[in-house]
């Protein structure tokens, strides 16, 4: 008997260590070493052991709300501790909890909880949940959330809680744009956490973070008629987006839970369940709290629909960071109304934890009813056949240990999958201007072997049927892409040079160099340092980068083959082609006679001029229709004696 107790105690210690490691990786390092399903299963096992042994370790995740925050952001203690919620997957338990009370049922959003404080109608402070007692001050970041009110009508002190989230749509878009997002961020919650806790709020501003209020903590002497629903309605009146909420009773809760379940897949922001809280504020507060949970509210987690299937293969999917992600391919099953046949396994550590091998019988589910995941491996044949070479480039792979997580990498620096950004630049508007090739699409084409170098983009018709059958593509999308590719075949030499991605060579530099070299492809390819040094506006750094690029035989080969793919009409030389030679412009504000500022820039560069982003002593003209404005650029121009001209005056110069 004693031996059994000792072994159970040992198992309890193992679970505490394992769960804490998983949570630390998830909350602080934006890494995922264990799936949600497995975490919940082990957590429940630990709870049972603690009850049975009547023992709880001080470090147990069942009593500690969260880890201490680790960052350079200032830390602050919450006036009222933020507890976790007790949870259930049974609607019957919610009915028990309700009794004869009315309650508020709302989404449990899956992001980062933030506490906001307003004073005198102004946002005064924003603090993350942190470990429930101490959070990080992120006020400057909260100010750039997309929907947060910086000023509100209420002039007293208001404290409220809500969830900062990033929508699925923005998550996918940002993952395309951020080079290492596919390595760092596995889901919108991790991306949101990383975005809100930035030291530079300029980064936060670009991430489209939104805030949804879910609890009013205090609002001076306002009378809310003892009702949570009244509080939520008032917060809406103050300008806050409030988490969707429905009034429920014991009789209606089952029907309302079913409503949320039907709408979870179409919900634009991530949700990992529902929250039920008594509408009667005084009654809820009179119940007090346990050591970990408030007694006035309950979390409802979706009861996962689980299906058994057979693992057919592990597909290894390379990414732009060199990381090669394992993806489980299995016999298709119906889950939550859709057919599912693949699920990301994230890394080798999770594969080893599941002892995952081809042919195994596995169970799968949709995390938060959205993202396919493996729940359990029933046969556990073991991990084997980890590839020694990259499936895209054939380069050697290596297994690395990052943050206690085993991951597979491609070691070849020239692997095409690592150069998605280069291909993205090639098709961008100022380069070859090929629409319909986002980074995500390019990545798929590269991984599937359709694109190995720039010239392959002009021959995607070789893979017509495969592309049409890809998710997100069809007959129309394919035809539009082909039309855009054919249009791109007629281009200019500066666009082609810029599209190569030569370090330090922007479109303006490419235009200057090509014009100086007579728009002759042969001269452009073989330009010497001396020739480039003579071109006004081309310094030593640019010249050296340019010459070094074309010294590489592979680069020369690709450029030569690209010239065979495109048509470059002879550029007509106008009388005023050097009208603005040596003249530097800065353009600011809106324009009226042109579609955008890029068109103004085009007119200047056609005449040998240069456009820069900031006013300096080398600036000759600042173009701004609001000549008398007190903007920073106008101020700087006046200080330096730089003429500020309107668009009308610029047109007169033309």
pLDDT, tens digit, for every residue of 83-121?
A: 778 788 888 999 998 999 999 999 999 889 999 999 998
Please name the residue that has the structure tokens 């090639």.
Answer: 426
Contact 460, 467 (CB under 8 A): yes
Catalytic residue among 75, 95, 102, 108: 108
DSSP letters spanning 422-453: HHHHHHSTTTT--TT--HHHHHHHHHTTS-SS
Task: State yes or no: is 108 an active-site residue.
Answer: yes
Contact 320, 417 (CB under 8 A): yes
pLDDT of res. 369: 62
Question: Is 197's pLDDT higher than 50?
Answer: yes
Angstrom distance (rounded) from CA 138 to CA 363:
41
pLDDT of res. 183: 45
Contact 597, 618 (CB under 8 A): no
pLDDT of res. 244: 93
**Looking at residue 5, what DSSP letter applies?**
H
- Beta bridge partners of residue 134, listed in sequence order: 77
Angstrom distance (rounded) from CA 600 to CA 586:
10
> How confident is residue 66, by pLDDT bands cut at 50, 70 and 90?
very low
> How confident is residue 186, by pLDDT bands cut at 50, 70 and 90?
low
User: What would the two tokens of residue 75 be?
Assistant: 């830390």
Q: What Å distances lie between residue 557 and 102, 506, 565, CA to CA?
A: 73, 21, 13
Averaged pLDDT score across all residues of the chain: 85
Q: Which residues lie closer than 8 Å to 346 by C-beta, 6 or more apart?
A: 32, 186, 325, 326
Question: Is 181's pLDDT higher than 70?
Answer: no
Question: Is 545's pLDDT higher than 50?
Answer: yes
DSSP letters spanning 271-283: EEEEEEEESBHHH
Q: Give me the sign of the Cα torsion angle 497, 500, 504, 508.
A: positive
pLDDT of res. 292: 73
pLDDT of res. 405: 81
Question: Is 6's pLDDT higher than 80?
Answer: no
pTM of the predicted model, to two decimals? 0.52
pLDDT of res. 539: 78
pLDDT of res. 177: 61
Long-range CB pairs of 49-52, under 8 A, 24+ apart, other chains included: 49/8, 49/11, 49/12, 49/15, 50/12, 52/8
Please name the residue that has the structure tokens 């002759």.
Answer: 520
């Amino acid at each position: 008997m004693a031996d059994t107790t000792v072994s159970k105690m040992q198992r309890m210690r193992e679970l505490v260590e394992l769960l804490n490691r998983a949570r630390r990786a998830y909350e602080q390092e934006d890494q995922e070493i264990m799936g949600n399903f497995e975490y919940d299963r082990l957590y429940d096992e630990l709870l049972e052991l603690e009850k049975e042994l009547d023992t709880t370790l001080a470090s147990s995740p069942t009593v500690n709300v969260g880890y201490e925050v680790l960052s350079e952001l200032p830390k602050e203690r919450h006036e009222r501790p933020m507890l976790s919620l007790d949870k259930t997957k049974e609607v019957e338990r919610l009915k028990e909890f309700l009794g004869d009370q009315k309650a508020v049922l709302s989404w449990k959003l899956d992001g980062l909880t933030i506490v906001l404080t307003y004073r005198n109608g102004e946002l005064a402070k924003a603090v993350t949940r942190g470990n429930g007692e101490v959070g990080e001050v992120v006020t400057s970041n909260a100010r750039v959330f997309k929907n947060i009110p910086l000023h509100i009508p209420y002039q007293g002190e208001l404290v409220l809680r809500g969830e900062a989230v990033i929508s699925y749509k923005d998550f996918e878009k940002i993952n395309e744009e951020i080079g290492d997002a596919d390595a760092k961020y596995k889901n919108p919650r991790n991306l949101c956490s990383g975005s809100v806790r930035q030291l530079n709020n300029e980064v936060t501003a670009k991430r489209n973070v939104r805030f949804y209020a879910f609890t009013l903590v205090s609002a001076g002497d306002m009378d809310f008629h003892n009702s949570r629903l009244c509080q939520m309605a008032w917060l809406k009146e103050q300008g806050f987006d409030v988490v969707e909420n429905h009034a429920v009773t014991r009789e209606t809760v089952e029907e309302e839970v079913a409503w949320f379940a039907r709408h979870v897949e179409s919900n634009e922001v991530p949700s990992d369940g529902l929250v039920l809280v008594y509408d009667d504020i005084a009654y809820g507060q009179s119940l007090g709290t346990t050591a970990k949970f408030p007694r006035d509210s309950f979390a409802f987690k979706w009861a996962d629909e689980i299906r058994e299937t057979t693992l057919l293969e592990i597909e290894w999917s390379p990414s732009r960071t060199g990381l090669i992600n394992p993806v489980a391919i299995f016999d298709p099953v119906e889950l939550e109304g859709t057919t599912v046949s693949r699920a990301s396994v994230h890394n080798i550590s999770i594969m080893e934890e599941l002892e995952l091998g081809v042919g195994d019988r596995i169970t799968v589910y949709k995390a938060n009813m959205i993202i396919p995941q493996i729940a359990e491996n029933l046969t556990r044949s073991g991990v084997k056949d980890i590839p020694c070479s990259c499936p895209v480039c054939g380069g050697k792979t290596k297994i690395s240990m990052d943050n206690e997580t085993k991951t597979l990498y491609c070691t070849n620096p020239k692997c095409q999958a690592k150069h998605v950004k280069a291909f993205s630049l090639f098709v961008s508007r100022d380069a070859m201007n090929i629409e319909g090739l986002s980074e995500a699409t390019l990545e798929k084409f590269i991984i599937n072997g359709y694109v190995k170098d720039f010239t392959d983009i002009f021959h995607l018709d070789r893979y017509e049927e495969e592309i049409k059958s890809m998710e997100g593509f069809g007959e129309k999308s394919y035809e539009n892409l082909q039309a855009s590719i054919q249009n791109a075949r007629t281009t200019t030499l500066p666009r082609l040079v810029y599209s190569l991605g030569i370090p330090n060579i922007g479109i303006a530099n490419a235009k200057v160099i090509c014009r100086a070299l007579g728009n002759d492809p042969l001269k452009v390819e073989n330009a010497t340092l001396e020739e480039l040094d003579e071109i006004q506006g081309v310094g030593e750094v640019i010249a050296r980068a340019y010459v070094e690029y074309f010294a590489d035989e592979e680069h020369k080969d690709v450029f030569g083959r690209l010239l065979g793919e495109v048509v470059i009409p002879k550029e007509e030389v106008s009388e005023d082609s050097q009208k603005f030679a040596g003249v530097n412009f800065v353009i600011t504000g809106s324009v009226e006679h042109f579609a955008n500022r890029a068109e103004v820039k085009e007119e200047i560069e056609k005449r040998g001029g240069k456009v820069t982003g900031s006013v300096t002593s080398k600036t000759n003209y600042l173009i701004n229709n609001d000549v008398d404005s007190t903007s920073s650029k106008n101020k700087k121009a006046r200080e330096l004696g730089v003429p500020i001209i309107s668009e009308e005056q610029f047109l007169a110069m033309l």
